[in-house]
Each structure stands twice: as structure tokens, then as C-alpha cells.
Structure 1
Amino acid sequence: MKYNLKVIISICVLIVGIAFYFLVFKTSDQIHYITVPVSKGNINQEVSATGEVAPIQLVTVGSQVSGQIETLYVKLGQTIKKGDLIAQIDSTTQQNTYNTEQAKLESYQAQYEAAEVQLAVAKSQYDREVTLYAQKATSKASLEDSQSTYATAKSSVVELKSLISQTQISLNTAKVNLGYTKILSPLDGTVVSVPVEEGQTVNAAMSTPTIVQIADLTEMKILMEISEGDINKIAPGMTVTYSVLSSSNEVFTTTLKAIDPGLTTLTNGTYVQGGSSDAAIYYYGRLEVPNTEGKLRIGMTTQDMIKIAYKEDVLTIPMSTLSEHNGKTYVRILENNDKVVEKQITTGLSDGINIEVTSGLNEGEFVVQSQMSDQQINSSVNSMQRPGRMM
């Protein structure tokens, strides 16, 4: 009987211990919901792109004649006007050619004047012989001699006239080539590149050598790289905001001028048909922006945002609260009695974070964004409180 009493006492102690464990150490597994209210706001759908600054007008000024650069009249960064002298190339050869053609022209002109006098004399002699022959006062041989002399004089005049024309053309060419030794600016702008030096010899026989590059920096273009996935969302005339790394806090606004019809490699002249399909495809969107203050420089990188669509004061919820079943969109609503109800909704414009709700929800309702149990909460808290190991 004493043995049975000990067994009963042990069982009672065990029951009390189990009860104490569940009451003190065993936590509940209640679900907690994290919600966000359905509220009104603005939805701004944008496409981001990276761009590069370039001048709208960039001219490479070369030399059409070969020779040594005697003098460079400009330096890098200098502002010049159209017609300003940029460089002088040694013009000895061109000057000599011009002088030779000029001398030939003068000689032919003198010969032409003499030939015209001879022609007049020959014509007069021929006319006289014709009259005398009609009166039977001269022989036929004399008439024929005067006729031959007249024809020869006429031929000489025609030949010299042709030589004068040819020499005049050669002289004009020599004059143009002589003018090519003076390199003049074709536009107002800034010298952005000077790849040659005084004393350097340039050879125009194979290709046109570059003397300077001149750009109009008062108006620039920005070439934005727009991805293949976004290109059909974008059209000229859309509003674009952009900033540069040197003034990242300053945002400029303009409009999209144009979109190139071909991909960037085609625009750049490096497109090869049948290239790797793994390569990313981009298209240039073009902006034209004023640069009167000179803040934009050639080659600068821009961060651009193209505004696709905008809606103001519409119902919005986070996109993370959405779920889809059978092609329909649903959200979970937390009602006053902590009951979760699933609702079908229709959506509109999205900015990638929030989305417009066009029907199915009312302002002030709470949509479930996520949920956690007590165990998950405790586990998260413990992991944050656990000290890191010393290495």
C-alpha cells in the first residue's frame, strides 16, 4: 500500500511538471498579420536609362593638301568663329604651281591676241583675192594660197582659245589648292581636339589628315541607351529628367527628341548581322538640350528617367500584396474581427512598387502584406540578439 502511494505521488508530480512547462516555456503559435492601408496617392511610371553627352555639331577639320604645318593658330579649348585661320601649311609647291599656270595663261593670251591680228590680216587678204579673182585680175593659185593662210589663222585662234580655257581651269585648280594650305574654321565653336603639332608633315595622299576638331558646345545631345524590353513603351515627346554625376542633386527636364530605328551597334556603325543572341540589345533615345552655362561636357554620363505615364490621387497598394490565380488578381483583407478575407480586384498603372486599384477595394481597408507566427517572431528576435562569433 505504501508502494502504491509513492507511485501516485510521482505521477502527480509529473503531471504538475508538464503543466508548468506548457504554461511557462511552451509559447503559443498565434499568427500576426502585417498590413498596409488602401490609400490615395500618385503613380508615376518611369523607365530608367543611362546616357552619354555629345555635341550636336562636331566637325573634323582636315587638310586636303600635303605638306608641313608651318603655324598652328589655335589651341585646345579655344573659342573660334567661322572663317578664322586655324593653321598654315607650307604652300611653296602650291604657290609654284599657281605661278606656272598664271605664266602659261598670260603667254597664251598674248599669242591669242597676235593670232587674232593674223586672222584679221589673212581674212582681209583672202577677201581681196576673192574680189580680184572675180575680176580675173589674179590667179587661182593666189586665191587658194590666201584661203589656206586664212584657214590656218582661224585654226590658230581656235586652238589658242582652247588652250586659254584649259589653262584657266588649271589656274583655278592651283588657286584652290593654294587656298587649301590655309585651314579655316567652318563654324563657330570650340576647339576640342588638336592631334597635330607645328612642324609636323601631313600627307593627304592616302586619307585626309585631321588638323583639329571643332564642336558647338552651346547645345548638346544625350544618347540614352534604352533596353529592348522597354523600347515599345517609349515615344518621342515624352518628358525626360536627367542628371550628371558632377551635379547629381541638380535635375534637368527636357523632352525626348527621337528614337533611332536601329540598335546602338547599327547607329555606331559596328553592327554585324547574325551576332550573338546573348548580347543585350539597346536603342538610342536622343535628347537635345541647351548648354549655355557649360555644365555639360563631351563624354559625361547621365542618369535619365523617362516618364511613361502619370496618375494623380488614385487608390494604391503595394505590389507585394498581390497574388494571381487563373489569370485574376487577388489581395487578402484583414477585417475588424481579425478575419482574413481574399478579394478579387482589378489594377491599373504601376510604378514597380505600388499599383493603382481600379475596383474591388475601398480607401481605408487594410490589405495583408505578410504574416508571422509567434515562433517566427521569437526566432527572428533571438537571431538578432545572438552575439556574433569571434574570429
Structure 2
Amino acid sequence: MKKVFRIVLIVFFIGLFLGTIGFLYNKSQEKPEMYDTKSPEITDIIKKTVATGSVIPRKEIKIKPQGVSGIVETLFVQPGQMLKKGDKIAKIKIIPDMINLNSAESRVERAQINFEDAQINYNRDKLLYEKKVISESDFQKPRLAYRSAQEELKSAKDNLQLIKEGVTSKSGAVTNTIIRSTIEGMILDIPVKEGYSVIQSNTFNEGTTVAIVADMGEMIFQGKVDETEVGKIKQGMNLKLTIGAIEDYKFNAHLEYISPKGVAENGAIQFEIKASVELDKDHFIRSGYSANAEIVLDKREKVLALNESLLEFSNDSSFVNIETAPQVFEKRFVKTGLSDGINIEILDGISKDDKIKGEKMSKIEQMKEMKRKKDEEKKNKKKSNS
């Protein structure tokens, strides 16, 4: 009995030893890796570039004082108001230069003295002429001097009034102290307030901007394109404009200008572009809205395409791994076409039904895949038995 017990015990330990070795061996063996598979699909490939910029009015005018400097006495308008050409914007109160004012007043006094003297001579000679004491030719000289003195006095007074008020009695309603709009449009901004000093625009001075007026019925997109893309675009191309402030709507635009000169910005050469925007009556575009313009460079419709991440490269060739049996893959070279950065056109090498090796599955995904295959095998057995 003891001998039998001893034999059983020895067999048990030998079995335990062999089982342990087998377990450790199986554990040391690498489990086969499983990969996800994807198939090509028929889709559209659109290669495009994006230009960033803003939407601005085509006509934006800065209104400045012409021929007059002074203080803003009255503002007749406010930002957002619509104007017609010639409408009043502001009235300027002139602060006369003391030297010019003193000279003009002195001129008026001299003209008054000369006029009074000429008037005395004229009245005296006129009485003599009426009594036929002097001839008409003798009377013509004092009469001419009187009229000249009269005109000089009037001119001196007008000049004094012009220096003080910026308007003369001859000009009537026409005066440069009233700033008027030069175009029809909307007031975007009024940089000055009542009481602000303004300077006239002339050859030596840009002048103070009283108002900014723009035609909001004609807007353009102004943006920048990188030098790597500017050679692929041309005038007349259609753009899709996305404005950050207007969600879920894209405006159509047409490229009409590409700058011939680039500008260095942040280490890259940028070229300015302009495109006319097709406005929509249901959406009001404000000046300065930031926008992105999508420019379609090339397009392929309904072609066989594959995710670029599934491609592998060797020298100048590209290839994919085709599944020939479950988790068994074979290298196959392909010919590619247009790419949009995500999907790439497949010209030759694979078909729509091929399964392409993808990313490595995680343990959870592998377990799900194994369960799916087992379920499929059970279904197939039931079908065959039935």
C-alpha cells in the first residue's frame, strides 16, 4: 500500500513539474499580433488651401477738413448712420491766426480811409460835373477811384469775415467750415468729438480724420497666401468664405487680385490676395470681420481613395499590405494620384474589395475580434448542419 502511495505521489510531482514548465513556456511565447483592416472607398478628393484675412469695404474714405483748421463745433451724425453724397457731417469753428487777423483788420481800416477820401472827391467832382463846370473825362478819374476804393473795402471786409468765420457774404451757403460726405455710404467711425481740434489737409499735412465713410454694398476679402501655394492659384478662381461671426454659412467669392510682391511675416513669405464677396441679404457683414477663404486647387470626383496613413513607402515607391488570409498580409505596390492631406487617390494596384493592413489592435480589440470570429464559426456550423 505504501509502495502504491509512493508511486502516485511521484507521478503527481512529475506531472506538476511538467505542467509548470509547460505553463512557463507558453507564457514566454509571444502572442501573434492582430491588425485592423480597412478597404478603399469611392469618394471625392478635393485639394484646397486656406487663406486667412478679413472682410472690408471696397470703398472706404477718410473725410478730412479742406482748407480750414479749428475746433469741432457740431457733429451732425453718428457711427452706423447712412449718408448720401453731400450730407453734413460736422461743423468746424475757426480759431483765426492772430497775425492774419491783425493784418486783415488793418487792411479793412486802410480801405475804409481810402474809400472815405475817394467818396469825398467823387461827391465834389460829381456836383461840378452836373453843373458842367468840368468835362466828363475829368469826372471819370474820381469816379473810377471811388469805385475801386468801394470794391477794395468790400474785399477787405470779406477777407476779414473769411478769416474769422470761414465764409463770406458772396459765397452764401457754400462754406468749407461744414464738412460733408464725399460718397454715399455708412459712417463706420467718427474719431473726433465736439471740442476736438482738427487740422486741414494740405500738401504738407495729412490732416485730421473727422469721419470714415464706406460703401457697405460692395465688400471684398483681403487675405494672405503662403508662397508655397501662390503659384497654384490664379485670378477668377472661386472661393468659399467662412466668417467667424456668422456661423453655419459660407459666402461665395471670386479671386480678382494676387499681389506680385511678397512680404516676410514670421519667417515666411506671404502674398496678399483680394476677392469680391457675393453678399446675402439675410446676413449683414460688418467691416473688419475675420474670415477664412478656402481655395480649391484641384479636384477628383468619385475615385478610388485610401486613407494616407495606410500607405508605406520604399525609396520612390508606395505600397500597402493586402490581407490574403486572416491576419496574413502581402506587400503590393500601388500607383497614387491626388491627395487632400487625409485621403489619397489610388490609380492602380488594388481594388475596392481588398482589405488593407491598418493599425495594430489593442488587447480589448483583439478579444472582440476573436469573439466575433468564434461567433461566425458557430453560425457557419449551424448552417452546414441544417
TM-score, structure 2 normalization: 0.67
In the other structure, the counterpart of 1:34 is: 36
- Please list the CA deviations of residues 225-267 of structure 1 after superposition, one character each: whole Å capped at 9, or x if unmatched: 22233222222222211222222211222222222222356xx
Deviation per CA, 1:280-299: give whole Å up to 9, x if none. Answer: 43222212114463521122
With 193-202 and 72-81 compared, the bigger mean Cα shift is at 193-202
How has the CA–CA distance of structure 1 residues 29 and 92 changed in structure 2, closer, same or farther, with 3 Å as cutoff? closer
Contact 1:27 1:375 in 2 (8 A): no
Q: Which residue of 1 aligns with 2:90?
A: 87
What aligned pairs does 1:284-295 form with structure 2 within 5 A after superposition? 284-291=272-279, 293=281, 295=284
* CA gap 1:81/1:223 in 2 versus in 1, 3 angstroms: same
- Identify the residue that residue 184 of structure 2 maps to in structure 1: 188
Q: Give 1:334 deviation, angstroms.
A: 1.0
- Structure 1 SS opposite 2:15: helix
1:234 match: 233
SS at match of 1:196: coil
The aligned residue for residue 385 of structure 1 is none
Offset at 1:33? 2.3
SS at match of 1:344: strand
Q: Is 2:5 aligned against 1:16?
A: no
Matched AA of 1:74: V
**Alpha-carbon offset, residue 333 of structure 1:** 0.9
Match in the other structure for 1:332: 321
Distance in 2 (alpha carbons) for counterparts of 1:34 and 1:366: 9
Please name the residue that 2:73 is paired with. 70
Work out whether residues 251 and 277 of structure 2, in 8 Å CA contact, stay in contact via their aligned partners in 1.
Answer: no
Letter in 2 for 1:193: D
Contact 2:69 2:95 in 1 (8 A): no
Equivalent residue, structure 1, for 2:54: 52
1:313 aligns to what?
Answer: 302
**Cα contact 2:251–2:279 (8 A) shared by 1:** no
Counterpart for residue 337 of structure 2: 348
Cα distance, 1:374 vs structure 2: 5.9
Match of 2:217, SS state, is strand
Contact 2:320-2:334 at 8 Å conserved across structures: yes
Structural mapping, 1:189-204, within 5 Å:
189-204=185-200
Counterparts in 2 of 1:338 and 1:20: CA distance versus 1, 3 Å: closer
Structure 1 residue 322, shift from structure 2 partner: 1.0
> In the TM superposition, what whole-angstrom CA distance separates every residue of 1:156-203 from its partner, at most 9, and x where no partner exists?
xxxx9xxx9xx9xx99x9989x74322221100111111222333323
Aligned partners of 2:54 and 2:289 also within 8 Å: yes
Looking at structure 1, the residues matched to 344 and 268 of structure 2 have their Cα atoms a distance apart, in angstroms, of 28
Equivalent residues of 1:30, 1:373 under 8 A apart? no
CA distance in 1, matches of 2:326, 2:256: 56
TM-score by length of 1: 0.66
How far 1:336 moved relative to its partner?
Answer: 4.1
CA distance in 2, matches of 1:292, 1:17: 79
Which residue in 1 is equivalent to 2:252? 253
Unmatched segments (≥5 aa) in structure 2: 123-140, 142-147, 160-165, 368-386
Distance between the aligned counterparts of 1:199 and 1:222, measured in 2? 37
Q: Count how many residue pairs are aligned between Structure 1 and Structure 2.
A: 305
Offset at residue 216 of structure 1 (A): 0.9
Q: Is the 8 A contact 1:29 1:375 kept in 2?
A: no
Task: Please list every run of 5 or more consecutive structure 1 residues that lacks an aligned counterpart in the other structure.
Answer: 115-152, 154-159, 266-275, 379-391
Pairwise CA RMSD of aligned residues? 4.0
Quote how far apart the aligned CAs of 1:20 are: 5.3
Q: Deviations over 1:67-126 (max 9, x none)?
A: 2333222222111011112222236869x97xx89x99xx9xx9xxx9xxxxxxxxxxxx
Q: In percent, how many aligned pairs have the same letter? A: 27
* CA distance in structure 1 between the aligned counterparts of 2:355 and 2:237, rounded to whole angstroms: 35
Q: 1:350 to 1:179 in 2, by over 3 A?
A: same
Query: 1:372: Cα distance to partner?
Result: 4.2
Match of 2:136 in 1: none
Report 1 or 2 for greater relative contact order, CA contacts < 8 Å, sequence distance ≥ 6. 1
